[in-house]
Every structure is written in C-alpha cells, then in structure tokens.
A and B are shown apart, each in its own frame.
Chain A
Amino acid sequence: MTITRTPGISRRSTLALMGAGAMTFAAPWVARAQAKTIKIGMPTILSGRVAQLGTSSRNAVMLEVEKANAAGGLAGRQIEMVIRDSKGQPQEAARVARELVNTDGCELLLDGEASSGSFAVHEVARDLGVLCIHTCSEASSLTADPKQHIPNAFRCVRQGIHDSIVGGSYAAAIARAKSLKKWATCSPDYAYGRDTTGEFTLYLKRFAPDVEIISESWPKLFQPDYTEVVTKILQAKAQALYSCLWGGDLTSYIDQANIYAMFGQMEVFAVNMADYTALTVVKNLPKGIHSGNRYIKTFPTTPENAAWGDAYKAKYNEYPTNWSWQNATAVMFLAEAAKKANSADGKKIAEVLKGLTIKCPFGADGTVTMRGDDQTLVGYAIGWGTTIPQEPYVPEIKAGDWKTIFELEAEWKKSKGFT
C-alpha cells in the first residue's frame, strides 16, 4: 500500500511555520516589554510650609534612583519616578496615590507623606494591592498596630517610639546626674506632638522616677508667636524642658526663648533640633541644647555617611534632611530586593523585603533591616547629643542601644494591645 501525498505544505508544517512566524514577530515585543521602564509613583509635600521636607525627599530619591539605574535598575528595568505634590493634605495624597497607579501606570509607590497623609495612602495601598513603602511617617501605630497591617506595605522611617525610648533614657541619665526633677514640656498640639511627648515622658519617668512634669504647653502647629509659652515656662521655674517642635516652629521658638535667656536657666531637650533644616537657619543657636539625631553627616561617624551627605550637598547645594535619608534608604531596599527576587514585580519584591538586611550608610552598624513581623525599619543610627553653634553642630552623639529599644518596644506594644 502506498501513501499518496498531495503536493504543497502539510497542515502540520503550516502550523509550525505560523508558530515560528509568530515567535519571530512577537520576540521584539516581549523584549521591549521586559526592557521597558518601571514607574514608581511618589506623592509628597512639594508646596506649603513643609515643602522643604518634600523637596529633600524627592532629591534623595532621585540621587539613589540615578545610582540604581546605573547599576541596571530594578531587575533590568530602568526606574522612572513620577512625583506629585499632595500639598500636605491627606485627601489629596490619597487621590494622587490612586491616580499614580490607575492613570499613570505606576507599579510601586513610595509614600513621601507626613503621618496624616500616610494613613490615607496606606488605605489606597490596601485597596489596590500595590507595593507601598512609607518613607516619612514616624507615627508608630502605622506599622505597630496589627489592624494597620497589610502584606504589601512597609515603613522605611524612624519611629516615634524608638526615639522616645532612646531620648527618655538619655534625658533620664542627665536628670539623675544634674538632679533635674522639675520638667516642662512644649510641643505642637496635634497627634505627633502629643504622642511623642507622652512617650518621651513615659520613658523619662521610667528611668528617672523622681521627675515631675510641672508645666505643659501645646502651641498650635505653625503658631507664629510663642511669647506667652516662653514666659509661662519661665514662671513655672522648670529645671528642664522637653520639646518636639520642629522646622520653622522650632527656630521661632528658639529665637523667642533666646531673648528671655531661657537656655541659660534650664536644660533644653529638643528632639528635632539636630536636623540641618533647623541647625542652619537659627542664627544664634545656643550651645548645649540636647537633641536626637535626625540627619547629620557626622552620625553615624562613618566615611560612607559623610560621603553621602557631601554628595547630596554637592548636587543640591544644601544639606539633606531627616526625610532625605529615609527616602534614600527606601530606594536602596527596593534595588536590593529586586536584585534578590530577580524581578520588579511588587509581590515578589515584598516577599524578599520582609526581614531583608542591607548595607546602608545610615545603619547603626553599617546595615539596616526591614523587620519581618511588622514590616518596619530597624537598626538605623539613633542617638542624642548636644549642640554647638557651628559645624558639625552636634559634635558628639551618644548612640542608643538597639537591644534595649527592642525590649522596651515589645513591652510598649503589649501595653497598647498590639501583641
């Protein structure tokens, strides 16, 4: 029996040819899709009274994105930042974040908002399931409260509770040594001011039980005049003052307290003093104000940190802020996580980010970790020191001990019902 074949191309060959043709024509598209840029959206505050912080966040991100792109981007995809102004309004931050993802096609979010806006962006991340790294909100509950937990959101920011533990312990040591028992507080009248002051005094009293808070002042945020607050504290005859005023409010307060010679009459602990935004603006910076570190290129005292601060200043002609190092660290985390995941996919990056430790100029020991259980930053350089009127402004900073921070933070979480 013979098999007769009809002339021409068989059906099988036709299918094979079509498949090969499709592969040939589709290959460039696949290649282009893999090589296309990855858009990262960033709502932050670029106008209004705290625009300087948003601008410094943007600067730091761009500085690190340049480096990441030069090193191949996120798993081979070049990063394209889409940065929008939220004007510091939570509802606007949420709207911008949603638009960045839905309209602009951003696949990841860096949330460069203050606390109030961050909680709004957090809800957008919860809704859209997009990977979001908070880079500015210090409110501890954002990641400490299990109700807030979502697998796709991380916080690459110092935390109020960490600062309070270190600050409380540092201040208590001075209180005991100098017998400072009568304390006053003066902090801005909103969630950050009240929470941070409450946590600081909690740990101050824990480490120095003799301390008594004899006067509290809660000026409004952005209040122009503090005269009545200054005189109230002077009348109370406090031996020490704690304040978490920041930015222009802090510099106004210092200028106004200075002419009442307040700084010669009591020890002053201002957690936000050691940031270049305040240090370089105050013309008559008193010597001996105790402050927590925010960003200062001399702490941690490593060549890497100094080099980063100098590179930022060389590029932008100003020193970085506290928000700058946090945003820069977020980009470092993204780049490293994408490398390890060998993917720019948000879910894969999120899996790697949990518990990831990276080399970082701002780490207490040269590294920082994205803690796995609450997806928040730990291990960053944290400490307190005293000011001098010229550079390096805070020549010596006493570093906080992370072992103690972890112990007390765990207690605090338990007391809040978070664990």
Chain B
Amino acid sequence: MTVSAAFAWLLAPCRARCNESAPVDLDALAGCLSSSACLVTQTTSGLIIGMLLFLVAVGLTLIFGVLKVVNFSHGAFYMFGAYFAMTAYQLTGSFALAMLAGAAGTAILGLIFERVFMSRVYGADVLMQLLVCYAFVLIFDDVVRIIWGPEFRSMGMPAAFQVMPLFIAGGVVPPYYLLLIGVALVAAIVLGIGLSRSRIGKVIRAAAHNPGMVSALGINTGLIYGGVFALGGMLAGLAGALAAPVRSLTPGMGFSVLIESFIVTVIGGMGSILGALIGALLLGLIRSFGSLGFPLFTEGLMYLFMVIVLVSKPTGLFGKEAA
C-alpha cells in the first residue's frame, strides 16, 4: 500500500462520519496563501481573534506574575465587562461610555474581589485558591443570571460601525475590527512601557520579585496587589466590552475564553506580557488559517501547538526558568 493510499484509507471512515467533509484540505490552504485577498482577510481574522484573547490572557498572566495566583475566575471579568457595556449602551446609547463602563466596572469589581476574598488565600494551598476561584465562577454566573436573566442577550453593533467593510488588497476588513485591534495594541504598548519604564511599573515588578523587601521600604504591597488585580480585571472587562457588539452574552460566557487564555499563557509563558501577545496572535492565526487547511482539526491544532511548546520549552516561549 502506498503512503497516499494508506492516508486515504485512514481518512475513509472519518469522511463517512463527517458527511464527506475533508479533514485535511491543503489545497484550500495553499490557495489562500497564494492569494492576497485571502491572505489579508484570514490574517486580519487571526489578528482579531488573537487581540481579544490577548486582552484576557494578559490580565491572567499579569496577576500570576505579581501575585503568583492562577485566577480561575478571570473569565467572569470578561463576562461582567460585556454585561456592563451592554447595560451602559442601552442606558446612554454611547459606545464610548459602554467601553468605559465595561473597563471601569470590572476594575472596581476586581479590586473588591481581591481585597475581600483573594487576599485571604495568598499563602494558602494552590488547591484552596483554585476552589475559591471556582466557587466564585459559579457565584458570578448566578449573579449575572439574577440581574440580567438566564437567556442570551445581544448588545448590537453601534450605528457608527454599521458600515460596509473595507477592501484592502482584495481582502475584507470590517472597520469595527480595526478599532478592536487598535485598542488592544494600544493596551499592549501602554502596558509594556508602563511596566518597564514607569516608577509604578518598577514597583510592581519589584513586588513580584521580592514583596518583603518592597514592604520593608514602606510601600503598601496590599495596594499594589489590589491594583494589579484591578488592572487584570479591567483588561478582561475591556475585552468583554469590545466583544459585546459581536458576541452573544450569556451567563457562563467567560469559561470558553478562559480556557483559550490559559492556552495562550502556557504557550507564551506564565507571567510574560510579550509572551501573552505572541501566544494570542499565534493562536488567532492558527485558528484562522487552520480552519481552511484543517477544518476538522482546528481546535486540535491549538492544543497540538501547546503540547509542542511545552515539550520543547516547558516554561513557554517567553517564560523564565524558576530561580
């Protein structure tokens, strides 16, 4: 049996199961890579997916980097950001205020959550932290269900963005997605520069490295921890607010985003902002181009990539070895 015959034989049962859809379509992928229109459309598609993921994942990685806590309830902030934005948009009709409400609301929520609950389990066992976070995932979902109802909701696209998409080199790019990519890029730059150049950034990094010493210097580490948690929550909330016009809102919507955010942080390296950016973009592009070349294995590709990274570099692409 030749290799191609063996491959065809292997795929035969799958084709029968999958209504004749081909699990691998390399022709479609090659065709896309050789077409500027397809290349532009799929690349921007990957950037959109990646940038939203980045905003959620960067908060997660930031909190882990400074507080050494894996915040399993992080997806809830994405969910609250979307609901806050929808409510603000319904009340005011202003898209800018909706974004502000999504980001500011989740920042305040993050601060309260950290000060009242999470700060009490910093020294506790990882399992305890995980249980507390998971309990709050369920509580937050129920809170949303009580306030906004169990049914799915939609914010709707603001009138300013209900316009024809742009055609760049034959590719299709919706203007709203350009805004989304822009906002996420600005967040990435501000965060990167802020943490590496500003005084507060240096204090945060110092607190992450040696909180005892920072505290001995008279700096309130509790305030720093609360601030970092609020910042992480705010970024997830901003992602939720930006996603609200194009995604349906349901209690529990943060969970699937959380899973992908974990993949991003594992690929990029826990605690690395640059890693979160690169990891999110890679994941977005894998999904975008993978859906053409491997239509039945797009999700699998993401996990496969994660496994390859973990095997070759267990700390992630930009993660640092433990001292």
Which residues of A are in contact with B by a Cβ distance under 8 Å? 47-49, 51-52, 55, 194, 197-198, 201, 216-218, 220, 222-225, 227-232, 234-235, 247-249, 251-252, 255-256, 258-261, 277, 281-284
User: In the complex, which residues of chain A have a beta carbon less than 8 angstroms from the beta carbon of B150?
Assistant: 47, 51-52, 55
Q: Given A218-B21, A256-B246, verify A225-B154 contact (CB < 8 Å).
A: no
Q: Which residue of B lies closest to A46 (CB)?
A: B150
Q: B19 near A260 (CB under 8 angstroms)? A: no
B25 to chain A, nearest CB (A): 9
Tell whether A227 pairs with B45 under 8 Å between CB atoms, given A222-B256, A255-B246, A259-B176. yes
Binary contact track B229-247/A, C-beta < 8 Å → 1, others 0: 0000000000000010111
Q: Is the CB of A228 within 8 A of B42?
A: yes
- Cβ B248 vs Cβ A252 within 8 A: yes
Question: Chain B, interface size: which category?
Answer: 35 or more
B295 touches A259 (CB 8 A): no
Q: Are B291 and A234 in contact (CB under 8 A)?
A: no
Closest-by-CB residue of B relative to A54 is: B150
The 8 Å CB contact of B156, one of A229, A247, A284, is A284
B188 to chain A, nearest CB (A): 19
Closest A residue to B46 using CB positions = A228
Q: Decide if A223 touches B256 in the complex (CB within 8 Å).
A: yes
- Asked if B172 and A251 sit within 8 Å, CB to CB, the answer is no
B217 proximity list for chain A (CB < 8 A):
none
Smallest Cβ distance from A121 to chain B, in angstroms? 22
Cα distance A197–B19 in the bound complex, in angstroms: 9
Considering the complex, give the chain B residue whose CB is closest to the CB of A223.
B256
CB proximity of A57 to chain B, nearest CB, Å: 13
When chains A and B are docked, how far (Å) is the Cα of A47 from the Cα of B164? 38
Whether B291 pairs with A283 at a CB distance below 8 angstroms is no
| A228 close to B49 (CB less than 8 A) | yes
A248 and B250 form a contact (CB under 8 A): yes
Q: List 22 A-B contacts (CB under 8 A).
A: A197-B19, A201-B19, A220-B299, A222-B256, A224-B256, A228-B298, A231-B288, A235-B32, A235-B38, A247-B152, A248-B250, A251-B152, A255-B154, A255-B245, A255-B247, A256-B247, A259-B162, A260-B172, A261-B165, A281-B151, A281-B248, A283-B155
Which residues of chain A have C-beta atoms less than 8 A from B38's C-beta?
235
Q: Which A-chain residue is minimally distant from B78 (CB atoms)?
A: A224
Q: Which of B18, B153, B157 contacts A194 (CB 8 A)?
A: B18
- Would A260 and B256 count as touching, CB distance under 8 A? no
B248 CB contacts on chain A under 8 angstroms: 247-249, 251-252, 255, 281
* 8 closest residue pairs by CB, A with B: A283-B156, A248-B152, A248-B248, A259-B174, A52-B151, A51-B150, A216-B21, A228-B291
Assess whether B88 is interfacial by the CB under 8 Å rule: no
Task: Convert B270-309 into 0s and 1s, putting 1 for each residue whose CB lies closer than 8 angstroms to a CB of A.
Answer: 0000000000000000011011100110110000000000
- Once the chains bind, are A259 and B156 in contact (CB under 8 Å)? no
Shortest CB-to-CB span from A228 to chain B, Å, is 4
Give every chain B residue within 8 A of A49 (Cβ-Cβ).
Answer: 152, 250-252
| Chain B neighbourhood of A283, CB < 8 A | 154-157
Min CB–CB distance B164 → chain A (angstroms)? 6
Chain B 58-74 near chain A by CB (<8 Å), digits 1 or 0: 00000000000000000
The reply on B104 being an interface residue by CB < 8 A is no
CB atoms of A252 and B155 under 8 A apart? no
Contacts of B299 in A (CB 8 A): 220
| B317 / chain A contacts, CB cutoff of 8 Å | none
Which residues of A have CB within 8 Å of B37?
A: 235
Shortest CB–CB separation between residue B303 and chain A, in angstroms?
13
Known contacts A217-B291, A259-B174, A261-B165: does B41 contact A235 (CB below 8 Å)?
yes
In this complex, which of B49, B291, B299 has the most chain A Cβ atoms within 10 angstroms of its Cβ?
B291
A255 to B176 CA separation, bound complex (whole angstroms)? 12
How many angstroms between the C-alpha atoms of A47 and B252 in the bound complex?
Answer: 11
Tell me if A229 and B161 are in contact (CB < 8 A): no
Give Cα distance in the complex from A282 to B153, angstroms. Answer: 8
Contact in complex: A224, B41 (CB < 8 Å):
no
Q: Is the CB of A225 within 8 A of B152?
A: no
* Distance, CA A232 to CA B289, complexed state (A): 9
Write the nearest CB–CB distance from A169 to chain B, whole angstroms.
Answer: 20
Residues of A within 8 Å of B176, CB to CB, are 259
CA of A255 to CA of B299 in the docked complex: distance in angstroms?
22
In the bound assembly, the distance between CA atoms of A218 and B59 in angstroms comes to 31
Pick from A197, A201, A227, A282: contact of B154, CB under 8 Å: A282
The reply to whether the CB of B48 lies closer than 8 angstroms to some CB of chain A is yes
Chain A nearest CB, measured from B11 CB (Å): 15
